[in-house]
Amino acid sequence: MKRLNPEKIHVKNDSNDYVIRVMDSPLALDGAAWNGLLAMQGAHQGMNPFMRHEYLAALHSSGSATPETGWTPRFITLWQGDTLAGACALYLKDHSYGEYVFDHAWANAYQQHGLAYYPKAVVAVPFTPVPGARLLARNAAERTHLIKAVVAWCAQQGLSSLHVLFTTDEDVAACEEAGLMLRHTVQFHWTNIAPTLAASRAALPPEGAAPPWGGPAVEPSSSTSTGAHTLPPAFRDFDDFLMSLSQEKRKKIRQERRKVQDAGITFRCAQGTNICNADWDFFYQCYARTYYEHRNAPYLSRDFFQRMQSTMPENWLLFVAERDGVPIASSLIAISQGSTSSDGQFDSKNEVRIAYGRYWGALERVDCLHFEACYYQPLAWCIEHSIQRFEGGAQGEHKMARALLPVKTTSAHWLAHPAFADAVERYLAQEGEGIAGYMDNLEKRSPFKASLARPASLTPSPHNTPTTS
């Protein structure tokens, strides 16, 4: 695909005059201005590290998400005078890998009818199925202007489709106004709140996702009181968390942890600048091995993680499994960090802190080591450090046995071809019914004690827009 110079498109709205500029690299954007917009997006939900300018720039500069790997950046920005009013990270794609919202069947249908599905456009964080703001804007009106301009640009470029992946309620509202279709998927997240009925009604929802089984969300504050609502207490320690589970699940977790201990495995963790070069090198060895074992090349290069170490160290937590002092496995966790000041610099304070399970690998096989490294060690750390939520990522019903509960995530889609758009809309309606049934089935398998399990009346419907506060 040819390199583009920044394009200018004028968008008029009453007395406001906006200009759309399309950049062919995140490096063409001022990082402080981008991060300043990011800080305005649902600050009560925690600062999503994957939408930081440093993260997106590292994907590009490290060669991980570039035209050579099938991710051609076209960052679309909305300007009012010299002020950045809105922006989104758009990529042109000639494949559907690294997205985690699967549209291979759509691509095959296009091919069978002699039509080209690629290139398509995605507004997403490459290789990162984490819900968060995708349409950065100062307010709802400018967010709507932005997505309408994105759709118009995609049509002008002759693209088959646009896909806004793992997005928030605010983005969903703008996408619906612009005529995009909604699609829902299921992830599994853990919340650091004792799971009483009151807790289910006050549980903090994931950014851009419905609360587990429909508990209405409330905004957190520095105390446990939120106006008319009072947040239930967090778990005191890992044993307190275990006591909330059914006897079967509690027994299973203790057995799994004992197997790892009996194998002579111990863990150490390091955060931020305490993760040394040798730790990063070892982690990447584990990370790459996980891909090679599945006969795939790693999505992310070693240089990408070097840039994370240099520009975003505060956002990373590393667990290293050792036997007799020799490292054998590791898991890397991302952590949200506070808001930004007017100059776009992040601070370390935040009303809501979220941990994200991201990468893991092992140099040798030990029974149940994956569960210990990826769930039990991170959850214990989250409880100790008052982290409100741990997001376990895409897919994986086995996570429910570890008390990661199903939540519904949302993406938005536009297809240029009217007949295919109609067909996909019908398909999504049927798929949505299937998601509703799937959530109903998962609810019956609650890992919590029967007296603490969420009632069926709180189950969300995929036909309703997920609610966050």
Report CA Rg, the chain. 22
Taking the CA atoms of residue 72, residue 77, residue 83 and residue 86 in that order, the dihedral angle to the nearest 10 degrees is -120
Q: Are residues 164 and 71 in the same domain?
A: yes
Q: Are strands 326-335 and 90-93 parallel, antiparallel or unpaired?
A: unpaired
Amino acid at site 253:
I
pLDDT for the residue 464 = 37
| Residues 88, 83: Cα–Cα separation, whole Å | 15
Both tokens of 324, joined, read 């007799």
Q: Which residue, 72, 69, 64, is CA-closest to 89?
A: 72
Residue 463 falls inside a structural domain: no
Task: Mark which of 366, 387, 408 sits at the end of a domain.
Answer: 387
Residue 221 has pLDDT above 90, yes or no: no
Strand partners, 19: 10, 79
Residue 306 has pLDDT above 50, yes or no: yes
pLDDT for the residue 449 = 86
pLDDT for the residue 446 = 87
Average confidence (pLDDT) over 333-342: 68
Q: Which residues of 167-202 are buried (b: 16+ CB within 10 A; e: fewer)?
A: bbbbbbebbeebebbbbbbbbbbbbbbbbbeebbbb
Residue 90 falls inside a structural domain: yes
- Under 8 Å CB-to-CB from 218, ≥6 apart: which residues? 202, 204, 226, 227, 229, 231, 469
CATH code for the domain in which residue 16 is found: 3.40.630.30
Residue 469 falls inside a structural domain: no
123 burial type by CB count under 10 A (0-12 exposed, 13-18 middle, 19+ buried): buried
More confident residue, 296 or 393: 296
How far does CA 117 lie from the centroid of its chain? 25
**Domains in the chain, number:** 2
pLDDT for the residue 45 = 58
Q: Which residue, 210, 86, 91, is CA-closest to 139?
A: 86
| Residues 243, 429: Cα–Cα separation, whole Å | 40
More confident residue, 1 or 396: 396
Residue 135 falls inside a structural domain: yes
Task: Mark which of 325, 358, 387 sits at the end of a domain.
Answer: 387
pLDDT for the residue 341 = 42
Q: Is 266 left (phi over 0), alpha (psi -120 to 50) or beta?
A: beta
Q: Are residues 255 and 146 in the same domain?
A: no
Q: Are residues 171 and 262 in the same domain?
A: no
pLDDT-based confidence at residue 46 (cuts at 50, 70, 90): low
Residue 79 falls inside a structural domain: yes
Q: Are residues 120 and 252 in the same domain?
A: no
Residue 140 falls inside a structural domain: yes
Q: Are residues 244 and 130 in the same domain?
A: no
Q: Are residues 280 and 362 in the same domain?
A: yes
Report the range of poorest mean pLDDT among 2-16, 35-49, 325-339: 2-16
Residue 199 falls inside a structural domain: no
Residue 11 falls inside a structural domain: yes
- The answer to whether the beta carbons of residues 192 and 389 sit under 8 Å apart is yes
- Under 8 Å CB-to-CB from 420, ≥6 apart: which residues? 106, 109, 110, 115
Q: Are strands 354-362 and 389-394 parallel, antiparallel or unpaired?
A: parallel
For 352, the domain range is: 235-387
> What pTM value is reported for the model?
0.86
- Condensed to tens digits (0 to 9), the pLDDT of residues 61-97 reads 999 999 999 999 999 999 999 999 999 999 999 999 9
- The DSSP result for 61-102, as a single string, is HTTSSSGGGTEEE-EEEEEETTEEEEEE-EEEESS-TT-SS-
- The answer to whether the beta carbons of residues 58 and 111 sit under 8 Å apart is no
Peptide bond connecting 119 to the previous residue in cis, omega within 30 degrees of 0: yes
Residue 2 has pLDDT above 80, yes or no: no
Distance spanning both ends of the chain, measured CA to CA: 41
Q: Which residue has the tokens 């990082």?
A: 31
Q: Which residue, 200, 260, 240, is CA-closest to 406?
A: 200
The overall longest dimension of the chain from CA atoms, in Å, is: 70
